[in-house]
Structure 1
Amino acid sequence: MEKKILDYLTLDLDTCTTDELYNEVLSMTKEMSKIKKEVTGERTVYYMSAEFLIGKLLSNNLMNLGIYDELESILVKHGRSITELEDYEPEPSLGNGGLGRLAACFLDSIATLGIKGEGLGLLYHFGLFKQVFQNNQQTEHKDAWLDRPSWAMPTDFKTTFKIGDVDVVSRMYKIDVLGYNEYKIPLNLFDLESVDEKLVSDGIRFDQEKLESNLTLFLYPDDSNEKGLRLRFAQQFFMVKSGLAWILENHKNHLEDLDKHAVIQINDTHPAMAIVLLYQALLKHGITNDKALKIVENTFAYTNHTILAEALEKWPIHYFESVDHSLVPLLHELNEKAKSRSNDSKTLIIDEQGLVHMAALSIHFSHSTNGVAALHTDILKNTELKHFYDLYPDKFNNKTNGITFRRWLQFSNPELTKYIESLIGSEFKENAMELEKLSQFAEDNTVQKEIENIKYMNKKRLAEFLKREQSIEINVDSVFDIQIKRLHEYKRQQMNLLYAIDMVEEIRSGKIPSRPLTMFFGSKAAPAYTLAKDIIHALLVLSKIIDNDPIVSPHLKIVFVENYNVTKAEYLIPACDISEQISLASKEASGTGNMKFMLNGALTLGTLDGANVEISELVGSENIYIFGESSETVIAHYEHEDYVSKVYYEDNVRIKRACDFLVTEEMLALGNQTNLDRLYQELLNKDWFMTLLDLEDYINTKNRMLEDYEDREAWNTKVIHNIAKAGFFSSDRTIAQYNEEIWNIK
């Protein structure tokens, strides 16, 4: 193998630049990827998603080709390292949060299981944005990742169409997704041929009306104004129109029975427009209305990712008219079909305000609607989408999310992987359920100490990384408490903020913790989400106050990881002790960070929400830390409109002290009064996601967790049980279930 690798590396490895070496290894890996087989078969699943958060691919692909160790050995002989290339490689800005990371994991598993499939999405030039902290505030800048050679290779497939009066040309790019076997599948990303990066000049601002130049600049263009809303809608139209053109080209000889040859899984409602566009295409082909509609229903499957009603997309019908006026009569026809199936106004596709409900469109005209965790699916059936479940009980099913455990264990935590392999063999790399064999070592003191040593090495690795990246000093002997996820009120970073304030006050009163605590945050707030940005601001201000306090700083530190992404997650997750999964019960569809953390030996601090419910059932209540009100209680509060946050503020001295701290002179001296006061008023007078409802229980449970950490033997027993039970959350298992129960691809 070494000779084979050296055949590709023609550079002088001793003297070449990092750029030259990276380009050569990239070319070599692309070339060697050609030995992987394309999956063949009569039926294809097309996974259509607005996001594919694939992360850096070089080392992942080297591992899946089986040449990582050999290349590393060659480079070391010449005084080089793979780390040099990993740091140099740009991270593809093709997604933001769990939705996009899940899509990436699913493609990996589709390839690994040898299922004929393809990903369909957009080639964003600047992603969501690059987060930069300035004056304790989040600022947004373009994330230019395509300025170096990338994995995205242009293809010859182009399609031309109109968006309203604008002619656009879409070109398809392909990224090979290598499975952990002999197979690969393509991730097909569409780009606007006439896209103009120069349109973006200041931060992330650009002319939102120049569709011929801007459609693929950013993921989720700012939709806080009418121009932004129309741009986001046009972008979705561009994505599904391009993706469907590719599907129809592939199956042009089988349009009469397309559903026998293709299944389109739409990842949330962003691609839901594809339903009416496919219906339109089949009618143009001469297929009758009833038959075309049957083909559409049998072709599409819909994954719901949210319980939040406000996150279920609704678009004014005149937006459809503005991109393609012929879609409007088709939507009315589909709405009449929905009316014929149910007289419940909640199941209408077009409501009285002329809004098109994309979730309704997706459920009516697909053959499957799935939730992504057991609790999430139950809530969809019983409350949020009950009117649809009553109509289509056979369509609803659950597919609990999973993660690519090879990426999040073998690649992110190689030391732990090798040690597990020494204990139970290597079968777990292909069948994650084999991790269960670790349970027999849960109380083995030698195993506990080795796993603890590996955790300590990962803490040092994270500390070195953050020293290099953000010039931050971290105490590696502290407890690492980590909350990394999109910044949203329902995920309740603000509750963690209030805990930190409470700890500051307790330390100042003389209650010194047994061990220092380092609290890590990593997240981006949507540019127009002011309250989310207020939470970031408060955390950054508080971190400065703590750093400058000689009494508090030896015992507590807040680290906000700037521009959080997959690469940074790969450092953070293996180093974590406490996994923060603290969303308001009933609001998190699933979560996948919780799965990655438990796989790497962190213990979950969480509510019984999303996949936390299934984690708790698997590991047992003694190996997880659960707090907070139940989803039933929370749902009842919303139904009765009887939650009043100010009652909790006024009745609990500790809660009042934490909230009031936000607007003290100490905070205002470093912070912005508008930001801090807005957050303070929100907590006291609205608190829609019930932070104060659970705050006291959260503080007490987290403090108990920190006390338990000091019993290292008992803690490490819990750690090993968590790792051993993580195999269920493999995306291989999830995808096998999708295929068996929805896709039926042989």
Structure 2
Amino acid sequence: MKLTKKKFQTDFKNRLHEKFAIETVDANAQELFESLGSVIKNYISEDWRDVRRYQMENKNKTAYYFSIEFLPGKMLRSNLLNLGILDVVRDGLSELGLNFDMIAEAEKDMALGNGGLGRLASCFMDSLASTGLPGFGNGIRYKYGLFKQQFIDGYQVEFPDAWLQSGNIWEVRKAHEAVEVKMEGNVWLKEDKATGNFTPVYENPRVLRAIPYDTAMVGYENGQVNNLRLWDVEIPESEERKYYSINERRQVQDITGVLYPDDSTYEGRQLRLVQEYFFTSAGLQTIVKHYLKLGIPLDEIHTKIAVHINDTHPALAVAEFMRLLIDEHKMDWDRAWNATVKTMSYTNHTILQEALEKWPVDMVKFLIPRVYQIIEEIDRRYVEEMSKVADPEIVGRTRIIQWGQVHMAHLAIIGSHSTNGVAKIHSDLLKDVVLHDFYVLFPERFNNKTNGIALRRWSQISNEPMSKVLDETIGKEWRADASKIKLLESYADDKKVKDKLANAKHQNKERLAAYIKEATGVEVSPNAIFDVQVKRLHAYKRQLLNLLHIIKLYMDLKENPDLDITPRVFIFGAKAAPSYYFAKSVIKVINEVGTLVNNDNALKDKLKVVFLPNYNVSLAEIIVPAADVSEQISLASKEASGTSNMKFMLNGAVTIATLDGANIEIRDAVGNENIVIFGMDKDDVYAHYYAHDYNAWGVYDADPIIKRVVNALVDGTIPNIVREGQEIFDTLIKYNDEYFNLLDFHAYVAAQEKIDRLYKDQKTWRKMSLINTANGGQFSSDNTVKKYAEEIWHIVPGK
């Protein structure tokens, strides 16, 4: 948009006066942010209205992206950048004597996700708008984010993340588009004697009112504004019942209270299933209402609507869509099923069996009885039809209802026309191992769509020093077209350019060092190697392997303080699920190792360990640009894709990695010489699985170095970890080291030693760093959503 500095200043001051009746000199950061956000939302609103009107008039096909997580982080800078007015606003505020960064800091992170799944969904929302594609997000408006993480005596302690406490300036409540969601009670089918059709009769249902809150998703300098719809819940008022107990109200409020209720209890799992059905039903109801306004027969709904199931959480969309078509709109089963399969598509995000959701039949039948009836019928018809053409054993293994459980991934695959993985190795594993039976039955439905990242946020917003160097070196076209970053590769031997990029990296390291000092009190040198592992804490991601190497390095330095190594700062950021006790033990031990080494003067500042609390998008925007080394060390075959690996390499970090997830595609992009690969590949891992020959005790007992490092967990070397150290020791030795940390240990140590040698040769290191950045453009989520659009959703750009 075109905006002068003077016009902005006038709009901003007027809004501040209207909202708070104060002058700029008297306003605090929150008041300034809310006024600024309100002005920016007003700038967006005209395009937002125009795009909706255009799409209705032209009957554009739209992709509806259902995800239980969205992790957009802060939106002020992103909106300003995409509107093309970031510099105008920043300069305008400066002339008014105001600090833009201080105002931006007042914004709360929209922490509506746990990690990669939610961040990917938000990247897709950004990219759909920025590529001009009609997209619409559907999720839950959680009143509290995942949780705020603090460390007390080294332990993770969870506090509520009340991100909505001051409201959300970007959202618009759409009460007129509220819908009712029915759950529980009894449902029976009443026959219509005249037609022979059956109509469901609901007895004593629990009725919930779903209220949509819409947030504009602004495209990059193209006028496209899509919609992210987050659903909140209310108790509907009716003549029959106007009064509810405090406990009843609390039960309803809990539905949109917290992201991922504790699934270690039956009640917690039940609440999660309620959440999944609540937002899925509400979203689909509004989609069908919108579609009917187009005046096109329901049989053809797939020509205007694509519904995407992001992981298994919204998989109930298959059965709920059938319910709407056959119950509410009287479509016969076969026509409804044909429309459903053509409309639905599904992304699988994991090969871990525990993450492929399965719900007890009794729970589903109690909470959503009509939907369960439809799932039963889908399952019955599936078995009947497939048994005519397929191996009965395969049909039995792939049916939806098995052993008293409803398999959500099976429902999603059977009820959709596309199932994709999120990196080449992951998609191959789905076809060859995890979902092989389905691949045998439906090979045409399987495809790969490697994940991507919103490059604008992870370069232009979070790394302005690097972005400035790119502008000076290759021009500014890369800001709109990520493929142009590849032009940087022609400067791989240009010392001046590499020095400029190194200086930008140093600025970012200084910023992170200052943050570390403020957040933890630990002083770190920007001249040290910043070695970073930030991601959800899970055993398969192997933060433990990183920790074991740190313990070895500490022991080596204690024996020889003059050891010739480049000073190293190991930086962690991760949250552990509240009931995931092993992960919380790893956090405790990392923190205690940090306390031990950070206060040991004998180490001569050659080793520091920092675990930054409350890792989120905003913190990542400080950490990622400052990283020298990107830790992507999951056990090969376990990480579906990863996206932090893409963010780090774009920002010039060198990746130390296993051949897992998108690490393989990063290696292919940058070349073997510009990444440090170690350890087993997926074939090695599966060979051990099939042979059942891994004996962690044998590895431990035969190797004095490994024995010494592992014993440090229990022999008092590390203070204050009696319980946690024993738990981790037992995980490795007694329970046979499920993720092969000990088997990959020496290869990892050798890879870390290679990192040290490479970093000492700054000429080589800076070239590696540049080549990583130059090849980051191919991992833009713009590219990813274009492939979804062309190959799965069949949508085209257009307002």
TM-score by length of 2: 0.90
Closer, same or farther in 2 for the Cα pair 1:275/1:351, shift >3 Å? Answer: closer
Percent identity over the alignment is 39
Q: In structure 1, give the amino acid aligned to 2:793.
A: W
1:55-94 alignment, distance < 5 Å:
55-94=73-112
Q: In structure 1, give the amino acid aligned to 2:725.
A: L
Residues 167-213 of structure 1, C-alpha deviations (whole Å, 9 max, x = no match): 21110001111110211101000011259xxxxxxxxxx98995322
Matched-pair contact (CA < 8 Å) for 1:338–1:348:
no
Matched-pair contact (CA < 8 Å) for 2:628–2:652:
yes
1:386-425 alignment, distance < 5 Å:
386-425=436-475
Displacement after TM superposition at 1:422 (Å): 1.2
Matched, 1:332 2:376: yes
**SS of corresponding position for 2:742:** helix
Displacement after TM superposition at 1:325 (Å): 1.5
Q: Within 2, Cα distance between the matches of 1:167 and 1:586? A: 43
Matched, 1:490 2:530: no
- 1:380 is aligned to 430
- 2:302 is aligned to 259
**SS of corresponding position for 2:743:** helix
- 2:7 is aligned to 4
Instruction: Give the number of the structure whose alpha-carbon radius of gyration is greater.
Output: 2
Residues 645-695 of structure 1, C-alpha deviations (whole Å, 9 max, x = no match): 11221122221111111112242x323x22221111101122111111111
Counterpart pick for 1:699 among 749, 754, 759: 749
Counterpart pick for 2:340 among 277, 296, 305: 296
Displacement after TM superposition at 1:624 (Å): 0.3
Residues 691-714 of structure 1, C-alpha deviations (whole Å, 9 max, x = no match): 111111001111111121010010
Q: In structure 2, give the amino acid aligned to 1:334.
A: I
Q: In structure 2, give the amino acid aligned to 1:154.
A: R
- 1:309 is aligned to 353
- 1:17 is aligned to 28
**SS of corresponding position for 1:476:** coil
Displacement after TM superposition at 1:161 (Å): 2.6
Matched, 1:34 2:83: no
- 1:120 is aligned to 138
Could you tell which deviates more after superposition, 352-361 or 526-535? 352-361
Displacement after TM superposition at 1:337 (Å): 2.6
Matched-pair contact (CA < 8 Å) for 1:659–1:680:
yes
Displacement after TM superposition at 1:67 (Å): 1.4
In structure 2, runs of 5+ residues without a counterpart are 17-22, 185-204, 237-245
Could you tell which deviates more after superposition, 34-43 or 80-89? 34-43
Residues 2-32 of structure 1, C-alpha deviations (whole Å, 9 max, x = no match): 1220121224333322122111101111101
- 2:211 is aligned to 171
Residues 383-424 of structure 1, C-alpha deviations (whole Å, 9 max, x = no match): 111111111111000001100101100111111111111111
Displacement after TM superposition at 1:158 (Å): 0.9
Matched, 1:146 2:164: yes
Matched-pair contact (CA < 8 Å) for 1:512–1:555:
no
Q: In structure 1, give the amino acid aligned to 2:742.
A: L
Residues 111-146 of structure 1, C-alpha deviations (whole Å, 9 max, x = no match): 011111100000011111111111111111110010
Matched-pair contact (CA < 8 Å) for 2:519–2:612:
no
Matched-pair contact (CA < 8 Å) for 1:316–1:356:
yes
Could you tell which deviates more after superposition, 273-282 or 244-253? 244-253
Residues 530-587 of structure 1, C-alpha deviations (whole Å, 9 max, x = no match): 1111110110111111122111261111111100000000000000000000000000
Closer, same or farther in 2 for the Cα pair 1:434/1:207, shift >3 Å? Answer: farther
Could you tell which deviates more after superposition, 689-698 or 644-653? 644-653
Matched-pair contact (CA < 8 Å) for 1:349–1:356:
no
Matched-pair contact (CA < 8 Å) for 1:406–1:429:
yes
Matched-pair contact (CA < 8 Å) for 1:209–1:227:
no
- 1:161 is aligned to 181
1:184-263 alignment, distance < 5 Å:
184-194=225-235, 211-252=251-292, 253-254=295-296, 255-263=298-306
- 1:625 is aligned to 676
TM-score by length of 1: 0.96
Matched-pair contact (CA < 8 Å) for 1:171–1:193:
yes
Q: Within 2, Cα distance between the matches of 1:129 and 1:111? A: 29
Q: Within 2, Cα distance between the matches of 1:329 and 1:553? A: 68
Closer, same or farther in 2 for the Cα pair 1:553/1:60, shift >3 Å? Answer: farther
Matched-pair contact (CA < 8 Å) for 1:166–1:212:
no
**SS of corresponding position for 1:83:** helix
Matched-pair contact (CA < 8 Å) for 1:443–1:717:
yes
Residues 446-498 of structure 1, C-alpha deviations (whole Å, 9 max, x = no match): 11111110000000111122333333322111100000000000000000000
Could you tell which deviates more after superposition, 287-296 or 643-652? 643-652
Counterpart pick for 2:737 among 687, 690, 703: 687
Matched-pair contact (CA < 8 Å) for 1:91–1:145:
yes
Closer, same or farther in 2 for the Cα pair 1:266/1:589, shift >3 Å? Answer: same
**SS of corresponding position for 1:647:** helix
Matched-pair contact (CA < 8 Å) for 1:513–1:555:
no
Could you tell which deviates more after superposition, 416-425 or 481-490? 416-425
- 1:110 is aligned to 128
Matched-pair contact (CA < 8 Å) for 1:166–1:211:
no
- 1:318 is aligned to 362
Q: Within 2, Cα distance between the matches of 1:194 and 1:527? A: 29
Q: In structure 1, give the amino acid aligned to 2:501.
A: I
Closer, same or farther in 2 for the Cα pair 1:114/1:531, shift >3 Å? Answer: same
Q: Within 2, Cα distance between the matches of 1:442 and 1:105? A: 29
Q: In structure 1, give the amino acid aligned to 2:35.
A: E
**SS of corresponding position for 1:463:** helix
Displacement after TM superposition at 1:34 (Å): 1.7
Matched-pair contact (CA < 8 Å) for 2:466–2:501:
yes
Q: Within 1, Cα distance between the matches of 2:63 and 2:305? A: 6
Matched-pair contact (CA < 8 Å) for 1:23–1:149:
no
In structure 1, runs of 5+ residues without a counterpart are 196-205
Matched, 1:134 2:152: yes
Closer, same or farther in 2 for the Cα pair 1:301/1:541, shift >3 Å? Answer: same
Q: Within 2, Cα distance between the matches of 1:332 and 1:71? A: 57
Q: Within 2, Cα distance between the matches of 1:512 and 1:163? A: 66
Closer, same or farther in 2 for the Cα pair 1:222/1:572, shift >3 Å? Answer: same
1:714-725 alignment, distance < 5 Å:
714-725=764-775
Q: Within 2, Cα distance between the matches of 1:8 and 1:78? A: 13
- 2:192 is aligned to none
Matched-pair contact (CA < 8 Å) for 2:9–2:93:
no
- 2:649 is aligned to 598
Q: In structure 2, give the amino acid aligned to 1:212.
A: V
Closer, same or farther in 2 for the Cα pair 1:522/1:553, shift >3 Å? Answer: farther
- 2:659 is aligned to 608
Displacement after TM superposition at 1:430 (Å): 1.7
Q: In structure 2, give the amino acid aligned to 1:300.
A: M
Displacement after TM superposition at 1:347 (Å): 4.1
Q: In structure 1, give the amino acid aligned to 2:681.
A: S
Closer, same or farther in 2 for the Cα pair 1:47/1:512, shift >3 Å? Answer: same
- 1:201 is aligned to none
Q: In structure 2, give the amino acid aligned to 1:25.
A: L
Q: In structure 1, give the amino acid aligned to 2:596.
A: I
Could you tell which deviates more after superposition, 552-561 or 105-114? 552-561
Displacement after TM superposition at 1:345 (Å): 4.5
**SS of corresponding position for 2:181:** strand
Matched-pair contact (CA < 8 Å) for 1:117–1:185:
yes
- 2:709 is aligned to 658
Residues 619-659 of structure 1, C-alpha deviations (whole Å, 9 max, x = no match): 10000000010111102222332222112211222211111
